């Protein structure tokens, strides 16, 4: 049987979303996992999510929240809500987990596929890619035909042909030979494209097909955990609207 890869990212400590996505992966026949980073931040189960993602034994790249939490970066320049969640998350993780996060690579290439959290155009700065110009800056650094990323929490496809870069709405497709693709897998734990369902991507390397999956999960349960942890109410509310 051939391989089927699941690409998960921006899980953001949302255990309810992660468990539902992994159940869907098993149903779909996934054989391998890849993670585009931001396992922690925003939601209330960072330790559990990190434990589960590590148990998958998959490549994981450094997300900006993974970095903020584990680098002990000074939070004076952060808005108070963001700083509160980062500080709370630090208290939930063991020293070993903090060290694990702090040592994640910014870029990983495995099986001819590159992973980066935001963009390969200075990956440590976590710039946002929302349009074809920002994607063009990324493509100058992308060596493999396929690269997966996240960070904006909005699924999207960027295609590089000779002389031009195009932005294509997320849709199932087959990778033609001779072009490069930069695929945003969306967010498992905090979608922001107006669809509250958890997002991830399936890639079949033999058939060269990409599928964008959306799965409904128990949003109310995730919200209850955020409220119970005393995290900002806005973080619970946004889960219901996918923003």
Q: How far is the CB of 133 from Zn ion (least distance, A)?
A: 22
Helix 46-55 and helix 15-28, axial crossing angle in degrees, nearest 10: 20
147 versus 165: smaller Cβ distance to Zn ion: 147
The DSSP bridge partners found for residue 184 are: 149, 156
Quote the CA–CA distance of 63 and 65 in Å, as a whole number. Answer: 5
4 versus 39: smaller Cβ distance to Zn ion: 39
By the rule CB under 5 A, 10 interacts with Zn ion: yes
10 versus 19: smaller Cβ distance to Zn ion: 10
Name the phi and psi angles at 81, rounded to 5.
-60, -50
User: Contact region for Zn ion (CB under 5 A) — 3-11, 68-76, 125-133, 159-167?
Assistant: 3-11
Give the DSSP H or E segment for 161. strand 156-161
The DSSP bridge partners found for residue 200 are: 213
User: Contact region for Zn ion (CB under 5 A) — 4-12, 43-51, 201-209, 232-240?
Assistant: 4-12
116, burial (CB in 10 Å: exposed 0-12, middle 13-18, buried 19+): buried
DSSP assignment of 162-187 equals TTEEEEEES--EEPPTT-EEEEE---
Taking alpha carbons only, the member of 132, 139, 128, 98 closest to residue 192 is: 128
Q: How far is the CB of 118 from Zn ion (least distance, A)?
A: 9
Quote the CA–CA distance of 207 and 240 in Å, as a whole number. Answer: 35
4 versus 129: smaller Cβ distance to Zn ion: 129
Q: How far is the CB of 67 from Zn ion (least distance, A)?
A: 11
Residue bearing tokens 């199932």: 172
Q: How far is the CB of 227 from Zn ion (least distance, A)?
A: 21
Q: How far is the CB of 66 from Zn ion (least distance, A)?
A: 9
9 versus 165: smaller Cβ distance to Zn ion: 9
| Per-residue contact flags (x/-) with Zn ion for residues 35 to 64, judged by CB under 5 A | ---x--------------------------
By the rule CB under 5 A, 97 interacts with Zn ion: no
- Report strand pairing: 156-161 vs 164-169: antiparallel
By the rule CB under 5 A, 24 interacts with Zn ion: no
Residues near Zn ion (CB under 5 A), total? 2
151 versus 160: smaller Cβ distance to Zn ion: 151
64 versus 92: smaller Cβ distance to Zn ion: 64
Task: Check: CB of residue 179 under 8 Å from CB of residue 160.
Answer: yes
Q: How far is the CB of 37 from Zn ion (least distance, A)?
A: 8
List residues near Zn ion by CB under 5 A: 10, 38
């Amino acid at each position: 049987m051939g391989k089927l890869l699941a690409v998960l990212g921006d899980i953001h400590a949302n255990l309810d979303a992660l468990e539902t996505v992994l159940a869907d992966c098993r149903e779909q026949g996934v054989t391998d996992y890849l993670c585009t980073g931001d396992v922690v931040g925003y939601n209330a189960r960072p330790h559990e999510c990190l434990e589960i993602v590590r148990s998958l034994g998959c490549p994981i790249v450094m997300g900006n929240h993974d970095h903020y939490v584990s680098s002990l970066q000074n939070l004076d320049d952060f808005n108070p809500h963001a700083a509160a969640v980062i500080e709370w998350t630090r208290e939930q993780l063991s020293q070993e987990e903090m060290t694990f996060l702090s040592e994640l690579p910014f870029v990983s290439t495995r099986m001819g596929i590159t992973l980066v959290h935001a963009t390969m155009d200075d990956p440590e700065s976590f710039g946002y890619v929302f349009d074809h110009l920002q994607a063009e800056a990324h493509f100058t650094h992308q060596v493999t035909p396929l690269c997966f990323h996240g960070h904006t929490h909005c699924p999207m496809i960027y295609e590089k042909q000779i002389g031009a870069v195009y932005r294509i709405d997320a849709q199932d497709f087959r990778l033609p030979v001779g072009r490069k693709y930069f695929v945003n897998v969306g967010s498992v734990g905090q979608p922001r494209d107006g669809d509250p369902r958890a997002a991830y991507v399936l890639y079949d390397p033999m058939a060269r097909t990409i599928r964008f999956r959306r799965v409904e999960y128990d949003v109310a349960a995730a919200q209850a955990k955020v409220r119970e942890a005393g995290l900002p109410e806005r973080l619970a509310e946004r889960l219901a609207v996918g923003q």
